[in-house]
């Protein structure tokens, strides 16, 4: 990966304070038409699924540049008008195709903090390391630089569920801590978790994923447990 690309990742990542993309919630982007319905034409969820599936397949097979609206329509065996009734830009389709994750449930909390941190690390890595996502991120980063507010809207749309869920996991583990301490510590852990999984997923994919998840989980546990001890001194 080039130095320029690392610079882009440093300045506009896709998770955490360095950027966040998880568990889609309300979409407020002006250039997306999801949810609008033509007069007398109820939305067909099968058409939506066909479009998003086609976008993911093209990203994985041909890369970001060749994943055009025309190519998506051809792969989905639809007219481009069907796409434009739902999305107004290629970028908005790709965001939903690789980052929507409406059916991606967050990791389940257990009684073991280390196991949970390992599950969270795997969860993030699995999504970033997918071929479609690895192809999409460089192109979206470039588009965000050219479209004012697009990145910020994506962050507002998708950050809170995962960040709040991780804070709740920390609260369960350390009920004696003050809420402000829990939120602060969880935020740091969240940012580290997503930044490391993004870089790892984009550069190495799933290679040595188990070892990476183990090391990252160990580091997160040290951070979460050590933060409370430091605060009480």
The CA–CA distances, whole Å, from 38 to 29, 42, 135 equal: 19, 7, 32
Q: pLDDT tens digits, residue range 150-183?
A: 666 666 556 678 889 999 999 999 999 999 999 9
SS3 of residue 87 by DSSP: strand
Can you say whether residue 100 is alpha, beta or left, with left for phi > 0 and alpha for psi between -120 and 50 degrees? alpha
| pLDDT band per the 50, 70, 90 thresholds, residue 194 | confident
Report pTM.
Answer: 0.71
């Amino acid at each position: 990966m080039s130095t320029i690309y690392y610079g882009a990742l440093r300045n506009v990542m896709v998770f955490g304070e360095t950027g966040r993309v998880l568990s889609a919630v309300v979409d407020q982007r002006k250039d997306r038409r999801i949810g609008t319905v033509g007069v007398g034409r109820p939305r067909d969820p099968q058409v939506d699924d066909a479009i998003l599936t086609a976008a993911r397949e093209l990203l994985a097979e041909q890369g970001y540049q060749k994943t055009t609206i025309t190519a998506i329509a051809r792969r989905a065996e639809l007219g481009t008008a069907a796409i434009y009734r739902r999305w107004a830009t290629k970028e908005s389709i790709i965001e939903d195709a690789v980052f929507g994750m409406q059916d991606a449930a967050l990791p389940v909390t257990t009684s073991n903090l280390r196991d949970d941190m390992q599950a969270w690390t795997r969860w993030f890595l699995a999504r970033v390391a997918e071929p479609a996502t690895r192809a999409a991120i460089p192109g979206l980063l470039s588009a965000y630089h050219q479209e004012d507010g697009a990145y910020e809207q994506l962050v507002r749309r998708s950050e809170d569920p995962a960040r709040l869920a991780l804070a709740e996991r920390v609260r369960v583990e350390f009920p004696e801590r003050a809420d402000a301490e829990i939120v602060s510590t969880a935020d740091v852990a969240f940012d580290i978790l997503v930044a490391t999984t993004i870089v790892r997923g984009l550069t190495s994919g799933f290679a040595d994923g188990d070892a990476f998840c183990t090391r990252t989980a160990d580091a997160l546990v040290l951070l979460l447990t050590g933060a409370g001890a430091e605060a009480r001194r």
